[in-house]
Amino acid sequence: MDTKQRLAFAFRILAHLGLDDHTYTHLSARSKHGFYLPAFGYRFEEITKDLLIEVDHNGKPLDPTSSLNITGQIIHQSIYKKRPDICAVFHLHTPAMIAVSAMEKGLLPLSQWALHFYEQVNYHDYGALALEGDQGEGIANDLGDKRVLMLRNHGVIVCGRTLHEALFYAYHLERACQTQCLALSSPKPLIIPDHAVCVQSCHELLSFEKDLGLRDWLAWERVLVP
């Protein structure tokens, strides 16, 4: 698969997992001249290679007749400019992700899924829709050197060096958020591993495979590619 095919496939995987939100969220992948974004108004399961539009480094579509989500242009452009190491950016908002983003302490190390992100998450205060360039810059600045940014009361930004790495993080983050919501609904006291165990676990989980997320991506190809 080329980059556009792989990005379209990432949309299909997330749709299959139920991590989309009608037409309101977006994924992108770095391209030769900038990055690819989907045409505005399509659900994840509808996205094909032909619906992916190349946007230049200044956030301008190379085809001026294209219809794009302006918040997508601003957010993705700002992150790619700030982070040359990142080649894929996912913006998602599931109920579990939003619920955890609204919690004062954010994501807690309550599960093995969550331990993938121990001390690896930054936070950005809610600021309505990102319609101006400085809002995108604020998001990119708050992301810092992390691969996950929780947008308070809104959702998440998940980044990867590859599309399959971003997908890996998105899957595990959703599971971590779902588990946290379940755990916090219990009246019983919760057990949280100590700091040293969390640090060691995070390191081991993220170095368990050489090319993070590729194994899972290949599994999805076996399941979803005709």
Whether 35 contacts 188, CB under 8 Å? no
The CATH fold of domain 3-224:
L-fuculose-1-phosphate Aldolase (3.40.225)
- pLDDT value of position 130: 54
Whether 146 contacts 152, CB under 8 Å? no
**Distance between CA atoms of residues 7 and 147, nearest Å:** 18
Q: Where are the domains of the chain?
A: 3-224
- pLDDT value of position 217: 97
- pLDDT value of position 69: 82
Interval 133-157 mean pLDDT: 93
- Region of 59 on the Ramachandran plot (φ > 0 left; ψ -120 to 50 alpha; else beta): left
Q: Are strands 88-92 and 26-30 parallel, antiparallel or unpaired?
A: antiparallel
Q: What is the pLDDT of residues 64-108, one digit of tens each?
A: 767 888 888 999 999 999 999 999 999 999 999 999 999 999 999
Per-residue pLDDT band for 129 (boundaries 50, 70, 90) equals low
- pLDDT value of position 8: 97
Q: What is the pLDDT of residues 185-222, one digit of tens each?
A: 999 999 999 999 999 999 999 999 999 999 999 999 99
Per-residue pLDDT band for 132 (boundaries 50, 70, 90) equals low
Residue type, 217: W
Q: Evaluate if residue 48 carries a pLDDT over 90.
A: yes
Per-residue pLDDT band for 133 (boundaries 50, 70, 90) equals low
Output 172 or 130, whichever has higher pLDDT: 172
| Number of Cα atoms under 13 Å in the Cβ half of residue 121 | 28
- Mean pLDDT over the full length of the chain: 93
Q: Evaluate if residue 141 carries a pLDDT over 90.
A: yes
Output 62 or 45, whichever has higher pLDDT: 45
Interval 103-121 mean pLDDT: 98
**pTM assigned to the model:** 0.94
Q: What is the pLDDT of residues 14-34, one digit of tens each?
A: 999 999 999 999 999 999 999
Among residues of the chain, what percentage have pLDDT more than 90?
85
